[in-house]
Amino acid sequence: MGPYMDLLYAHCLDEERGDVKISLRDVQDFSQDFFQSLTYEPARFIHIANQVIVEILKEVSRLSFIEDHPQAIRKQSRVSLYDPPSVLNIDIRNIRESQLGQLVSMAGTVKRIDDVTYRASEAAYKCRRCGSVLRVPQKYLEMVVPLFCAKDLGGCGRTAAQTRFDHTPGADISTRTQIVYIEENLEDVEPQSQPESIYSFIDGAVCGTINPGNKIRVTGFVDIMKRRQKQVKPIYAFYFRVLGTDRLEKRFTDIKVSVEDMERIDKAAKSPTLFRDLTRLIAPELYGMETEKQAVLLQLFGAPEFTKPTGEHFRGNIHILLAGDPSTGKSKLLEYIASVIPRGIYTSGRGSSAAGLTASVERDEITGKWGLVGGAIVMANDGICCVDELDKMKMTGADSLLQGMSTQVIKIDKASVHAQLISKTSVLAAANPRAGRFEDSVELSGQLKVHSELMSRFDLAFILRDLPDEEIDEASGSHILTYWDDEDALPLDRDLLIKYISVAKRYTPVIPKNLKREILDYYKDIRNRFHLRSSMPIDKRHLQGIMRLSMASARGRLSNLVNHEDIERATTMISGCIKGLTRDGTMDVDMLESGISGDTRQLMTRVYDIFLKLWDVPAYRAGAPASKVIDIAATEWQVTRERTAAAIRHMVKNKDIYSMGNEVYIKNG
């Protein structure tokens, strides 16, 4: 333990001293007997260790200095335990009274945090009779007052009945503390079981560094917490006093990459088939979907974010929507991504509320204060939130998701709590068509039950069809039947893919001026190509999407400079997505964002003109029949009855006209 003494002395000389970290594996290697004693009486030994730190602090800092500057020892240091051996591990749901007071270690996800406060470890009391200041050691969750003014400490010897003691908080020796609500990791919970949780009290320098969504392992001991009750009942709750923490999951940029791994990554980055090789590692169980998987790969790389001095922000997160027929692999892809990446969260729109997606406010049972509980999109900050069945989501949930996707900030104004939570989260969503399967007789985008404003926030939206094709059916069926029999001959393993993404995220690619001109020429060319039509092929929002995708592609090549190949990859994906939303492959961004094509919008204007003419006729002032309007449109403009009927439905939905029943309509207002 010699190195720890050197560390301790150096620590005491540091004015910004925090916790003294001690590895439990080192303690176990030093003395098995001492480790066993620490296991059975952690509170006693930690108290002794903290007292030793105070004594060494006095020695190093010199006693005379301490007397002149008593605040020097009030900046209390403490022992923090980390790297616990597996013999201490226990699940939250398995905590019993037999573990009370014993050293254990448990893993979980931070669900809720309270504000950082200060807890007095030694409270200072001033005697009203003699003016002496007494320091009284405090219990962890209970305030202890002096019973008498001790003479051996310079007091008058009077008891609490003979004098009064005033608490002087400014002279206390205090420790930073924070209440953290830790819940079992979802992957560790058995099917049909509810995740269990426990209140945890964290002290020291780690306070304020833990956020909702962090996966951590806490080491400490279980104690009993008295509940606030009007009547005394034989009911108590456990709480966990944390003596040390270990981070279990990190952000991509925190993942350590060895020299050997870096050599393999550099070799893979130079391969001419780089993106094809990396795409094969995305949900290899699913056959095909090369374009969609490559888009998800770019989403994993992401683009760098920028903030102008004026405060304007360019998000680097890429949002993707997968809409398709049943059995096209949407949910499987979402589940795979959520399970393999750090801070990946999977949720379903069917059972998600606005609070479950963003954040909610709960009252703490102990302090009585309101605290923030992070939702899925907050818990997945710096990761990916996979939202399945987006079409089943309620409107309130869609509005909350829209806020997080567009501003990357969740604003909370509830129960006197006004806060902003960061949600720099990429969203990978899946949705089904209204009728369960896409129909060729209706525009594909119009069959999606996704709010138009939410739809416009996705950089890419793919339509997945399950159509009979003998060649594809043969290949996909063979892949499914033989996948579990054969060993995968993949260029990289999954762990190396995560490290590859970690390395790629360290790059901050920029787009050269000549390639910005190439993007602008593409934008102008597409818009001019359709200027004679009523459709809008692409809008300004897609320019930022192209920038994000091209920079993500450059990251995939481990480059700080975007090239022509990256631009082409981005524009091809954007064009393919917009074309895929129409039956004839026409680029019409209106179909993507509102479900109404430019042609339909133009037809709606003509149909409204017919209604206006009919309402001027006395016989139709009380309401014009749809059949009459459809006949006129078919006679004058050769428009099919189906298209005119669809236009009328859109007009009713937009409240341009009102239905009186029996297919009779009147003017709005």
pLDDT tens-place string over residues 68-112:
444 444 455 678 898 999 999 998 888 888 888 899 999 988 888
- Residue where the block lists tokens 């426990």: 198
Contact 581, 529 (CB under 8 A): no
Q: For residues 27-56, b (16+ Cβ closer than 10 Å) or e, as one string? A: bbeeeeeebeebbebbbebbeebbeebeeb
The residue among 138 and 189 whose pLDDT is bigger is: 138
Output the CA torsion sign for 570, 576, 578, 579.
positive
The predicted pLDDT at position 481 comes to 84
Q: Which two tokens stand for residue 483?
A: 């996948």
Least confident of 107-121, 233-247, 523-537: 523-537
Least confident of 433-447, 488-502, 541-555: 433-447
The residue among 557 and 433 whose pLDDT is bigger is: 557
Cα of first residue to Cα of last residue in the chain, in angstroms, is: 85
Residue 460 confidence (pLDDT) above 60: yes
The predicted-structure confidence for 162-201, as pLDDT tens digits, reads as follows: 888 998 888 888 888 888 889 888 777 776 678 888 889 9
The predicted-structure confidence for 577-614, as pLDDT tens digits, reads as follows: 877 766 555 555 555 555 566 667 777 888 888 888 88
Q: Measured between alpha carbons, how far is 342 from 552 in angstroms, rounded to an integer?
A: 18
The predicted pLDDT at position 74 comes to 46
The predicted pLDDT at position 454 comes to 80
* Per-residue pLDDT band at 12 (split at 50, 70, 90): low
The predicted-structure confidence for 107-133, as pLDDT tens digits, reads as follows: 988 888 887 888 888 889 999 888 888
Q: Measured between alpha carbons, how far is 524 from 589 in angstroms, rounded to an integer?
A: 14
The predicted pLDDT at position 195 comes to 83
Q: For residues 565-577, b (16+ Cβ closer than 10 Å) or e, as one string? A: ebbebbbebbbbb
Residue 319, SS3 per DSSP? coil
> 0.85 exceeded by the pTM?
no
Residue 231 confidence (pLDDT) above 60: no
* Per-residue pLDDT band at 451 (split at 50, 70, 90): confident
Residue 208 confidence (pLDDT) above 50: yes
The predicted-structure confidence for 342-388, as pLDDT tens digits, reads as follows: 888 888 877 677 667 777 777 766 666 676 777 788 888 888 999 99
The predicted pLDDT at position 247 comes to 83
Q: By C-alpha distance, which of 451, 433, 453, 452 is closest to 443?
A: 433
Residue 558 confidence (pLDDT) above 90: yes
Element containing residue 629 per DSSP (H, E): helix 626-637
How much is the CA Rg of the chain, to the nearest whole Å?
A: 32
Residue 289 confidence (pLDDT) above 80: yes
Output the CA torsion sign for 461, 467, 472, 474.
positive
Element containing residue 265 per DSSP (H, E): helix 259-269
Contact 160, 146 (CB under 8 A): yes
| Rounded percentage of the chain residues whose pLDDT exceeds 70 | 82
Residue 67 confidence (pLDDT) above 50: no
Residue 426 confidence (pLDDT) above 80: yes
Q: What is the mean pLDDT of residues 521-546?
A: 72
Q: Measured between alpha carbons, how far is 187 from 478 in angstroms, rounded to an integer?
A: 31
DSSP 11-72: HHH-TT---EEEEHHHHHHH-HHHHHHHHH-HHHHHHHHHHHHHHHHHHHH-HHHHHH-THH
Residues in contact with 517: Cβ distance below 8 Å, sequence separation at least 6, in sequence order: none
Mean pLDDT of the chain: 80
Contact 386, 344 (CB under 8 A): yes
Contact 358, 403 (CB under 8 A): yes
Question: Which domains does the chain carry?
Answer: 2-82 (3.30.1640), 259-591 (3.40.50.300), 596-667 (1.10.10.10)
Residue 565 confidence (pLDDT) above 90: yes
Q: What is the mean pLDDT of residues 624-642?
A: 83
Q: By C-alpha distance, which of 515, 548, 563, 572 is closest to 301?
A: 548
Least confident of 248-257, 490-499, 511-520: 248-257
